[in-house]
Each structure stands twice: as C-alpha cells, then as structure tokens.
Structure 1
Amino acid sequence: TGDVKEGAKIFIPGGGGGVGSIAIQIAKKMLKASHVCTTAGPGRGTEICIAAGADQVVNYREENFAEVLAGEEFDMIFDTMNQAPEMGKLLKKGGKIISISGTPTTEAIAKMIGAEPSLMVRMFMFMSRNRAAEKAAASAGGTWEYIFMHPNGSDLADIAAAIDKKDGIQAFIDTEASSLDDFQTAIDKLWSGRAKGKCVIKVCS
C-alpha cells in the first residue's frame, strides 16, 4: 500500500467480514482515503461497513457491483473475494488490484519464504496463475499483485498504534468462544465465509 496517496479512492469488497472491516478502517484512518466503497449484505454486514467508515456500500444480494460502479475509477482495489477479473473496468489508469484470495503467485511465495520456490512449485504456480486478473488490470493501464498474508512485525506495530489511538481501529466481533464446546461453532462460522466481523477464541481465562 506504499503507493497509495492521501485522498485516494479505494474499493474493498466484502467489508462486513473480519478482513474487510479492518481494511476499510486502515484505508480511512491510516491511508487517509477520500472515498472507500465496499460490498455487503443488508443488516449487520452493512452496519459494520458504515461503522468502519465506508462511504458507499453496495448490496451484493440485490446489485452487481460492476454495474453499480460502472464509470468509477479507483486508485486501488483490495480483492478479498477472488473477483479480480471483474474489477479491471473499475481501476484507474496507473492503479493497482491487490488480491489476497485465490491461488498465490510464484513471486508472492518467494517474498514470503525469502527464497525461490522449487521447480515443481513454480510449474504449478505458472499453470494456475490468475492470468485473467493480470489481463483485467493491464487493460485499464494498471497492475495486479497477489499478496500472501503473513505476520509482519513492523506492520503489526503500526496497526497496534492505530488501535490504541482515540477513535482508532476497532474489531467487530461475530462469535466469541470461551470453551471447547464453542470452539467448533466459531471455526465453522469462520470457514463459512459468512462471519460478520471477527471470530474470537479465548484460550485462557
């Protein structure tokens, strides 16, 4: 996100989830985006998006975001739903689509492990590479990149500082498990892809 300038327009689909709700707040409070658009279902999902600071929420159950946002130009699109091929027409020239879902690229794996992957892994990555996403971004004069999510001390320190600030970043909780009986419920909700916010599991009292 180092290339994102203050005042940028950013599209973050899936804003009602655990990742999307945090991403909206990072875009507004840390990157100082002027306009953040997202997608969510009606009810709790939309409520979370608005509370997180989204300027526009597209109801994905009744509307197609590509049609609703036709003509818009976003400086950055944070693809949390593996929909990058559909997003090229929404990208501003020189903009970037960043994906965290779908099949990772060889470059993303190399960056994460700090070394070139094996030949077999490179071959598999080459065969399964999301060329549709690359083409969609390139057609708009932009770029597409896959980011392998992994802990980064510097980034986590910045986010921790943002959380500690008054009116800072907050986590929206969907499910909170405090016993082993609740553990599976929380995991099932997380993997369903329909959690509204974060699923929290307490491992100690």
Structure 2
Amino acid sequence: MKAIGFKTSLPIENQDSFIAFETEKPIPGAHDLLVKIDAVSINPVDFKIRQSGAKDTVLETPKIIGWDAVGIVQGVGEKVTLFEVGDWVYYAGDITKQGSNAEYQIIDERIAGRKPKTLTNAEAAAMPLTTLTAWEILFDRIRINPEKDKGKTILIIGGAGGVGSIAIQLAKKIAGLTVIATASRPESIAWCKEQGADFVVNHKNLTEEVRNAGFQYVDFILDFVDTNAYWDIMAELIKPQGHIASITGSSEPVLLNKLKTKSVSFSWEFMYTRSMFETEDIVEQHNILNLTADLLDDGVLKHTLKQTLEGFTVENFKEAHQQLESGTTIGKIAIKF
C-alpha cells in the first residue's frame, strides 16, 4: 500500500520533509478494524511530532503520522463486535501506533465511531480528534453538568482553532454555558461568533478584555494555546472554587500554589490517554463519537472544516503542515484521497 511519512525531522520546506513509499498492508488484531482510508484531517500534533519524532537521526522505516480519518471497514479482528465489513467509520487514532496518512490503517474498534451520515468524508474527517478533546475536557475532566452548571461562564483561550471551534459549540449548545472566546483578527472573531460564542475578546490584553466584557471572574477556563504564557492571567480570572483545564502541556513547572487561596482545581486533558493505557473505559471514545455523530446529523453541532485539499500527495501534506505551522489557521484542513 502507499503511505506518506518521514525518516528524519526536517523543516516542512525541505524536499524530504515528507516522502511517499510502499509498505505492507497491516493485519488487524483481535479488537482491530482494517480501514481503507478516504479522507484525513491535519492537527497541530501532526507537525509537532514531525518536527520532533526523528531529530538528529534517520529512521530505517518511515514514520507514518496522522490522527484523524474517515474510511470504510474492509476487515475485522476475531473479537470485533461493534462494526462489520462495509461500515463507514471516523476516528482520531492511537498516538502509539502508525497513523492515518496511508491507504489502509488498523484501528481499535473501541476508539472508532460511525461516520456521521449527513457529512461528506472530508467534513467528517475534520471532527474526531478535536471533538473527543473538547468533549473530554468539558465533561470528563472539569465534569460540567448541564443541569447544575447551566448559565455559568467559560473562557476558551484559542477559540478559532480546531479544538476551540467545537469546544465553543459543546459549551454553548450541550452544556448551556455563557461562552467567552479569544480571537484577534476580524475573520477569527467572526468564526468564533458563528460557532456560538456569546463574547469574543482579544487575547493580547485578556484580563482587561474579560473585565470590560462585564466579567470579574469566570467559572471555567479552557487553555488551547499555552499554559505557561496564560498561567498568571488564568489564576487571576478564575472564580474561587472554579476549574481550569489545558491541553497544551508546559515547558516549565506550573505554579499550582497560585490557585490555592481560591481553592481552584486544575486538570490536564490528553486525548490519547484512553488508547495509550487501554483504560477500563476505553470504549467511551466510541460512545462519544457515536453521540456526536448523532448531534452532527441532527444539526445540533456543525462541522468545523474550513479547507479541503484534493489528492493523497506529499505536496498536499506539506501544504497543510505549512499552514498549521503559521499559527493563523481557522477551523480544520482536510485531505481527500
């Protein structure tokens, strides 16, 4: 089968930053689906791993990345019960295994969901990773209860990005929160409002912007940009007994003592935790994807695809990575095979 990967970490402009190659079609294990891929989307994790996954070395076998895909099931493992050959699925994959930038991929059925019927394959491919991340951070990490927490305030730092876009929708339409999102350019401000944000504030002067919008403190904060850069601001803006959650990691230790006097909770969200550790509740990702497929099909949620590149080519992956690395993209970029 054809695949696209890399042997060494190079700037995206380099001719060999991505290479096309032939490799064996994978064989599904007990809980695996063999999927013929039709569309993928690109996320920041893709370029971060491309930049760091083979630094100062040359891999003997190219590394295949990619963690959002839509495809049709062509084979199943002996213990598969959730899907059959011929089913269309969408999923965000497993960071410990070969990725989706290939003609075929094996994926654990417990982290795949049925593809939304009303979306094109490219539109559906834009959704799994960001939707799982946003759902988990809201409902598994902060444990927002739509009945108890309806009307409370949430600040979403990085509202126009892939995760921010769907987090705005989930926070507004499912959790019933008052949503404050950050954006600075006219097009990103408009995008956040289109997703359902009640207020859009400029991240460049965030504390003052939130206060000027009429909020001394907020109940919840989601960081999708930079934990360290926004730590002091988040500690100032969070309401006593509030909850902050982040997906971005930290280059320096996080000073949790800044949250002590307010009795504030803090959580990390890593979408791959369930698949990496095969947690007891790993099938929850299957359940979340099926639930959000229904919400997408019913029009409660809408896809966040902004651009589609046609063709399974090195050039298209380079183009997508280059755009994401610029830090100016809005919504998601997909590649249709």
Instruction: List structure 1 segments (4+ residues) > 6 angstroms apart after TM superposition.
Output: none
Shift of 1:129: 6.5
Q: Per the alignment, in what secondary structure is the counterpart of residue 57 of structure 1? A: strand
Residue 326 of structure 2 is matched in structure 1 by: 192
Match for residue 297 of structure 2 among 144, 159, 164? 164
Q: When you count helix as a share of all residues, which structure comes out higher?
A: 1
Aligned equivalent of 2:120:
none
- Rg bigger for which structure? 2
Shift of 1:201: 1.3
Root-mean-square deviation (Å): 2.0
Match of 2:254 in 1: 131
- Which residue matches 1:13? 157
2:296/2:303 contact within 8 Å kept: no
Deviation readout 1:78-133 (Å, 9 max, x if unpaired): 11112233201111121110000024xxxxxxxxxxxxxxxxxxxxxxxx66322x
- What is the TM-score of this pair, normalised by structure 1? 0.76
The secondary structure found in structure 1 opposite 2:245 is strand
Q: Secondary structure at the match of 2:260?
A: helix
TM normalised by structure 2 equals: 0.48
User: Aligned partners of 1:17 and 1:50: how far apart in 2?
Assistant: 13
Within the candidate set 57, 64, 71, 2:200 is matched to: 57
Partner of residue 120, structure 1: none
| Secondary structure of 2:225 counterpart | coil
What is the rounded CA distance, in whole Å, between the counterparts of 2:194 and 2:205 in structure 1? 23
1:174 equivalent in alignment to 2:329: no
Runs of 5+ in structure 2 lacking a partner? 1-137, 276-284
Match status 1:40 vs 2:174: no
Gaps of 5+ in 1: 104-127
Q: Which residue does 1:68 correspond to in 2? A: 209
CA distance in structure 2 between the partners assigned to 1:175 and 1:40 by the alignment: 19
Aligned-residue identity in percent: 32
Instruction: Name the count of aligned residue pairs.
Output: 174
Structure 2 distance, partners of 1:130, 1:143, is 16
Paired residues for 1:100-115 under 5 Å: 100-103=247-250
